[in-house]
Amino acid sequence: MSKRTPQPAADKSYVNWKTLIPVLYDWFANHNLVWPTLSCRWGARFDEVSYKNNQRLYLSERTDGSIPNTLVIATAEIVKSRVAAAEHISQVEKAHSADIHCVDWNPIDLNLILTGSADNTVGMYDRRKLTSGGVQSPIHIFEGHAAAVLCVQWSPMKASVFGTSAEDGILNIWDHTKSGDMEGGSGTGNSGSPGLFFQHAGHRDKVVDFHWNASDPWTIVSVSDDAANNGGGGTLQIWRIIDFLYRAEDDVVNEMDNYRSHILPCSSYRRK
């Protein structure tokens, strides 16, 4: 039996429909799936903020038998009706010199927005300074990746902290309050990027996504796509930054003093 191909008329109808999305829908999201889904059901709503609701979504996956059929439990972010009415939309033209791959709105400080781009940089914008004319510079540009940025996300615990991941296999953790001059400044690379205080280098290929754990501070799950290298497949890692990096300096020094008697003999041993 010959493989079915979409009819030209159907293709044309689909293209025409896509052009009408801004007119027909208050909000629309599309996700391409690896396996066919034969059923979908809404679950309970479990979180609500000013502009969106978080709700469970259940999907089934019918595979080709190489892996078991799967029930997928997803979290759907549902934008509230008319939260972005056309007359209130602001835009920034040429926010980056290449494609923008990801955007995240600060859940604590609602004025701050992050963008990640194929130009390897992360931009931070203040929505109070956005104009309808489309001319606005980021209040800061973060440069700490050697390849396209794929994911940006603010920390749910601290308004100034966020993470970024990229095709270079690195996941960076930043604190923008430590970035020096916030007006138009920028980092100069991994070894001198203002605001960068932790790099997770545990993945061997591009880190396509990560997520902060809102129930366990400073705990992150990250995934990489290893299909191009290292025998294919992917990697999932769950990790937590050592607390010495984000606790108050005085607390860390006081705790380290408790180990002074052990640290000093070890140092003397190395020098011999």
> For position 186, what pLDDT does the model report?
36
> For position 192, what pLDDT does the model report?
59
pLDDT in tens, 219-260: 999 999 887 776 667 888 999 988 878 777 788 788 788 777
> For position 181, what pLDDT does the model report?
42
Task: Please state, in angstroms and as integers, the Cα–Cα distance from residue 251 to each residue in 188, 198, 217, 248, 257, following that order.
Answer: 31, 19, 18, 5, 10
The pair of structure tokens assigned to 169 is: 């296999």
DSSP state, 133?
T
Q: Which residues of the chain have pLDDT under 50?
A: 1-2, 85-88, 181-191, 271
- Nearest CA among 141, 210, 127 for reference residue 176: 141
> For position 78, what pLDDT does the model report?
79
- Lay out the sheet containing 234-240: strands in order across: 207-212, 219-225, 234-240
> For position 191, what pLDDT does the model report?
47
> For position 210, what pLDDT does the model report?
93
Domains and CATH numbers, the chain: 1-89 (no CATH), 95-241 (2.130.10.10)
Residue 259 buriedness (CB in 10 A; 0-12 / 13-18 / 19+): exposed
Report the alpha-carbon distance of residue 131 to residue 122 in Å, rounded: 20
> For position 247, what pLDDT does the model report?
77
Question: CA 153, 185, 209 angle in degrees (round to 5)?
Answer: 20
> For position 165, what pLDDT does the model report?
96
